[in-house]
Amino acid sequence: MSTPSHPTAITFVEVGPRDGLQNEKRLISAADKLTLVQLAIGAGARRIEVTSFVNPQKVPQMADAEAVCAGLPQRDDVTYIGLVMNLRGAERALATGRIDQLGAVCVATDRFAMANQGQTSDESVAAAKAIIALAREHGRTAQATIAASFGCPFEGEVAEDRVVAMAASLAEEGPVEVALADTIGVGNPAHVARLVERVRGAIGPLPVRVHFHNTRGTGLANVWAAVAAGATVVDGALGGLGGCPFAPGAAGNVASEDVVYMLERAGIATGMDLKRMIEASHWLANVMDRKLPGMVAQAPVFPKAAEE
């Protein structure tokens, strides 16, 4: 493995409106979801996963996908991402006229793929490639995420060779990037660095994106390891909310404000305004009526602005 080097900047993707909220039992109004999107934009987010087009009976929190899309601010400088599992969902997303980028998902193991989207792992790769092709036909872009890249809730360890092969296959269809998702938060920094580097070698020059959950407290360490290994796109959810309805024990995403604090303090630009992110996290805590997992929003401001 080559010596880690750190970039001067990464691209940040806010996934709170979708992945942050999808597993919440209390239904959040479309109006509050749209406020969350607006706050994310105000804090600097230029790529936002706004909703998912999935079966509303299985994921009730996302039943208002079309209503959320209808209320999205008109912004030429913001890419709105809609997560889709199949062509039917992709067609719904495209029909709104407001989704700029489709987020296709495939799964590294058969048992989780069946639980998550009712198909085998190989079938999920084929479905993701079909979604990427459909987006291109409609003048849109698409990204591809490999769920359970670092471990499966049903099958346990996932072979790195399997993930690398999936990434190479997805890259053939021309997504804007391939994402490695630690769906259940079992990754460790050594594994993350190794897999990111291997996938980079397999799909270059396409970027590697990373999506971490903090289930076991390793989320930020994994972000750092991934960026050092060459990942250039990082997901986060305001407040550290999140979880997967189909992955037992999955806890929240890495908190956006925690990721941005760590990277910016290390001299890696994110394009985000930490002060406004903290304000947004406080607003979201009030909406959820509870303390959120993110740490930076609970801590004193550092460094404090110089007194005038």
Query: Which residues are identified as catalytic?
Result: 244
Tell me the one-letter amino acid at 181: A
Asked if omega into 4 is within 30° of 0 (cis), the reply is no
Tell me the one-letter amino acid at 19: D
Q: Calculate the alpha carbon distances from 102 to 46, 93, 131, 297 in Å.
A: 15, 8, 8, 31
